[in-house]
Structure 1
Amino acid sequence: MSSTLPTETVPSGPRQSLARVATEVLAPWVWVLGLPLLVAWQVTGHHLGETVLWGLIVGVTGSLIPMAVIVRGAKQGKWDGHHVTNRAGRLVPFAACIGSLALGFIVLLVGNAPHEMIALAAAELVCLVVALAITFALKFKISMHAIVAAGATVMLMKVYNPWLALLFLAVAWVCWSRVELKDHTTAQVTTGAVAGILLGGGVYLALAAALA
């Protein structure tokens, strides 16, 4: 099933094609799979074995397992596509993400993972829980694309180099794409980006410093 609105509502054209590229390439599952590996590579001193171990614990439990649940549900018609654009259909995907990542978080704690990896997983969990509350308690479909992209950018700026603030261009691109495809409003992507910076990035920075 398509994750966008019908073609009569979202016309096909160069703008929509560009928007669909951003929506897929910069999807939350892509960030959540790649980010832990990039962070682990840096914080383990470029040790390949540890990078793969800690990075994949977060990446698999935070991205691949939830995405498998989401794609399976989409194929069964439980929601309207792998981006779950209908707000009411997001409860099970949120539960799958939170439950799976919580398991990964426990593994990190028990395995004495680098504190930055623990902080990363905790920040992702906080974002998920808050997004769940906003989506259902406030009935406001906050953009997960925006939350994840913005939060990941702040984390990469801290772990690698402040010049990676240039990634906010990618954040702007994916936010634009969600509005262009009529999957979100400007308010929903703006709120998501701010939440990603303050919660994703903020919780990571605070915990990484506190656990150091």
Structure 2
Amino acid sequence: MQGGAGGVRVARGITDGLEPRTWILGVTVLTGWHAAGAAGVGWGAFAAFFCGVVPMLWIRWGQRRGYWGDRHVRRREDRLIVLPGVIVSVVACIGGLVLLGGPREVTALVVAMLATVVAILAVTTRWKISVHTAVAAGAVAVLALAYGPGPLAAYVLVALVGWSRVRLRDHTPAQAVAGAGLGTAVAGAVFLALR
């Protein structure tokens, strides 16, 4: 892709536009639709709130107080604080889905998200794996399992996300690829087993 300042601007736009929250909001609503049509969209929105919106608010809260630098939480050490907070919200979502009788497919998705975040946290204790590519690839894997092979074309977007993270020097190529591999394997396997 482009070099110089133009390349950095493009990379920043991709990183910001295709951040984890974007993928989470999309995959929850689309999985809800697949599970139960219009009613499922409501369940997807419920999951999106706990898995996408609450974590975003948690990150912004810490950012405003100077606990971490920005919404992408670049420092590995800061992620060790942020990720457990995300896990609490995702666990609360699972509890709500179970207690309220949410669709099995939406619950399977959220459990897959939990497994992915726990795996990311485990790796993050030693190495800065890409959360961006993990979430993006996991979302594509889940959508392909739900809807068939068509969504696999979105791995092109996962590759662009990986490129942007490397171009911005937030990750090495190995960290971006490892994130995509982890997200695909963990989210895909857990969703397939539970749906």
Tell me, yes or no, whether TM beats 0.5. Answer: yes
CA contact (8 A) 2:134 2:184 kept: yes
Partner of 1:8: none
Larger Rg: 1
CA contact (8 A) 1:36 1:117 kept: yes
Question: 2: CA distance between counterparts of 1:106 and 1:171?
Answer: 30
Question: 2: CA distance between counterparts of 1:185 and 1:146?
Answer: 12
> AA paired with 1:159?
A
Question: 2: CA distance between counterparts of 1:190 and 1:42?
Answer: 29
Partner of 1:190: 177
Normalised TM-score (structure 1): 0.87
Question: 2: CA distance between counterparts of 1:36 and 1:26?
Answer: 15
> AA paired with 1:72?
W
Deviation at 1:161, TM superposition (A): 3.0
> AA paired with 1:17?
R
Q: Specify which structure has the higher proportion of helix.
A: 2
CA contact (8 A) 1:154 1:197 kept: yes
Superposition pairs for residues 141-160 of structure 1, below 5 Å?
141-160=128-147
Q: Secondary structure at the match of 2:102?
A: coil
Partner of 1:181: 168
Partner of 1:51: 41
> AA paired with 2:167?
E
Partner of 2:68: 79
Deviation at 1:56, TM superposition (A): 1.8
Partner of 2:156: 169
Superposition pairs for residues 34-113 of structure 1, below 5 Å?
34-44=26-36, 46-47=37-38, 49-52=39-42, 54-113=43-102
CA contact (8 A) 1:147 1:200 kept: no
Deviation at 1:94, TM superposition (A): 0.4
Partner of 1:119: 108
Deviation at 1:58, TM superposition (A): 1.1
Q: Secondary structure at the match of 1:184?
A: coil
Question: 1: CA distance between counterparts of 2:50 and 2:80?
Answer: 18
Structure 1 outlier segments of 4+, above 6 Å: none
Question: 2: CA distance between counterparts of 1:121 and 1:146?
Answer: 18
Question: 1: CA distance between counterparts of 2:150 and 2:90?
Answer: 29
Segments of structure 2 that go 5 or more residues without pairing to the other structure are: none
Task: Give the one of 200, 204, 207 matched to 2:187.
Answer: 200
Segments of structure 1 that go 5 or more residues without pairing to the other structure are: 1-10
Normalised TM-score (structure 2): 0.95
Deviation at 1:12, TM superposition (A): 5.8
Query: Percent of aligned pairs with the same residue?
Result: 36
- Corresponding residue pairs, total: 193
Deviation at 1:91, TM superposition (A): 2.0
Cα RMSD after superposing both structures: 1.3
> AA paired with 2:34?
Q
Question: 2: CA distance between counterparts of 1:30 and 1:170?
Answer: 12
> AA paired with 2:41?
T
Indicate yes or no: 2:122 matched with 1:133.
yes
Partner of 1:4: none
Q: Secondary structure at the match of 1:84?
A: coil
